[in-house]
């Protein structure tokens, strides 16, 4: 599925100018039909899945309780 630059910016939650800059820097692949750039949304699927997986891993790490250390001694 191809999206316009404006739709891509909304999809990625970033400003339109940044998407245009990424296209000109070849960080986002796009095709130009003579009037407008179109971006294939499939190039973001893997990236977005990886971000979701990293978020899940971070949440899992944050919710892991700290184990009791058996070497800690009460110094009272």
pTM: 0.63
CA angle 7/46/64 to nearest 5° reads: 115
| Domains, in order of start, for the chain | 2-62 (3.90.105)
Strands annotated E in the chain: 2-4, 30-32, 37-40
**Res 15 pLDDT > 90:** yes
Residue 46 pLDDT: 81
Taking only Cα atoms into account, the Rg of the chain, rounded to an integer number of angstroms, comes to 22
pLDDT digits (tens, 9 = 90+) for 39-72: 998 888 887 788 889 999 999 999 988 777 766 6
């Amino acid at each position: 599925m191809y999206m316009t630059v404006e739709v891509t910016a909304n999809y990625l939650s970033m400003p339109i100018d940044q998407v245009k800059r990424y296209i000109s820097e070849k960080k986002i692949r796009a095709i130009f039909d003579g009037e407008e750039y179109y971006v294939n949304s499939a190039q973001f699927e893997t990236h977005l899945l990886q971000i979701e997986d990293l978020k899940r891993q971070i949440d899992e790490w944050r919710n892991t309780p700290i184990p009791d250390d058996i070497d800690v001694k009460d110094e009272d």
